[in-house]
């Protein structure tokens, strides 16, 4: 039995009412649970564990709804009829494709360094609004929303995006966050985009959605949590 599996079992055996799971354990969590929700199935990953009794676990994925809530509710970014670009085709990208499409985006383009991975996602989701391209093929429609779902920000690496192309976007969102603006956020600022955001709000909103699962719909004051977290990291 893996250490992750043992830790989860022990947590629920000793009365844990719910748990969030983060990188790099979301796939292991997916394999471990008894049932998965449709959105976890689509994401291919589990970030929320809900005990069902008798040692059984439900696996959910609230990352997509977390992103959608942060963009739409907190940041007032329209998704319906919007051109949206996702940079990256790994687990982080996969988890947010279906929730973004559900909001009625005009188009969703997955740009990735390795085109094969982006093509695979397009095949899997099979939606007419979904397209794949390499970074050097990317054209960004005016007013688009560009979301960084690559792990490049983790290592402080810039993405191979043309500044004059990026400048067409109206909003840039990095699913990563940190005390300082990420490399992608800096690229977006340099391109002249004024609405540039990190993923702290997504982190809190996915937790808020998970909290509701664990506490019979009880709502978390997510805006207050975001504010407190920003204060604590010295922003």
Binder of ligand ATR out of 42, 48, 61, 150 (CB under 6 A):
150
Distance between CA atoms of 80 and 192, rounded to whole angstroms?
Answer: 24
Considering only residues 206 to 235 of the shown chain, the ones binding ligand ATR according to CB under 6 A are: none
Cα Rg of the chain, angstroms = 18
Q: How far apart are CA 35 and CA 93, in angstroms?
A: 22
In the DSSP assignment, the letter for residue 113 is S
Asked if residue 198 lies in contact with residue 177, where contact means CB atoms within 8 angstroms, the answer is yes
The reply to whether 26 belongs to the active site is yes
Q: Helix 91-102 vs helix 115-125: angle between axes, to the nearest 10 degrees?
A: 40
Please select the residue that binds ligand ATR; options are 117, 131, 168, 230, rule is CB under 6 A.
Answer: 117
Give the contacts of 24 (CB within 8 A, at least 6 positions apart).
none
Shortest CB 81 distance to ligand ATR, Å: 26
> According to the binding rule CB under 6 A, does residue 44 interact with ligand ATR?
no
Binding flag, residue 182, ligand ATR (CB under 6 A)? no
| 147 scored as a contact of ligand ATR (CB under 6 A) | no
- In the complex, least distance from residue 111 CB atom to ligand ATR, rounded to whole angstroms: 9
DSSP characters over 33-79: -SEE-HHHHHHT---EEEEEETTEEEEE--HHHHHHHIIIIIS----
Among 11, 72, 75, 90, binds ligand ATR (CB under 6 A): 90
Contact between 141 and ligand ATR per CB under 6 A: no
| Residue 197: closest CA among 63, 113, 76, 47 | 76
Candidates 11-19, 86-94, 137-145, 202-210 — which segment interacts with ligand ATR by CB under 6 A?
A: 86-94
Binding of ligand ATR by 137 (CB under 6 A): no
Given candidates 159, 169, 207, 210, which one binds ligand ATR under the rule CB under 6 A? 159
Q: Which of 22, 34, 114, 227 binds ligand ATR (CB under 6 A)?
A: 114
Quote the DSSP letter at residue 218: P
Q: Which residues of this protein are in contact with ligand ATR, per CB under 6 A?
A: 23, 88-93, 112-114, 117, 149-152, 157, 159
Report, as residue numbers or ranges, the catalytic residues.
26
């Amino acid at each position: 039995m893996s250490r992750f599996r043992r830790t989860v079992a022990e947590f629920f055996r000793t009365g844990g009412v719910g748990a969030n799971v983060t990188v790099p354990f979301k796939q292991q969590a997916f394999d471990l649970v008894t049932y998965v929700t449709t959105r976890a199935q689509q994401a291919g990953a589990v970030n929320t564990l809900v005990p069902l009794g008798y040692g059984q676990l439900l696996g959910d994925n609230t990352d997509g709804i977390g992103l959608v809530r942060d963009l739409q509710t907190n940041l007032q970014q329209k998704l319906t009829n919007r051109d949206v670009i996702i940079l990256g085709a790994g687990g982080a990208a996969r988890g947010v494709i279906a929730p973004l499409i559900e909001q009625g985006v005009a188009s969703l383009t997955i740009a990735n360094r390795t085109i094969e991975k982006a093509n695979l996602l397009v095949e899997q989701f099979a939606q007419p609004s979904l397209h794949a391209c390499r970074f050097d093929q990317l054209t960004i429609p005016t007013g688009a929303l560009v979301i960084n779902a690559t792990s490049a920000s983790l290592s402080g690496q810039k993405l191979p995006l043309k500044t004059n192309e990026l400048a067409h976007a109206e909003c840039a969102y990095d699913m990563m966050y940190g005390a300082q603006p990420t490399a992608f956020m800096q690229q977006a600022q340099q391109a002249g985009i004024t609405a540039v955001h990190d993923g702290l709000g997504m982190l809190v909103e996915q937790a808020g959605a998970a909290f509701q699962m664990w506490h019979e719909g009880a709502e978390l004051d997510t805006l207050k949590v975001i504010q407190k977290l920003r204060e604590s990291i010295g922003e």
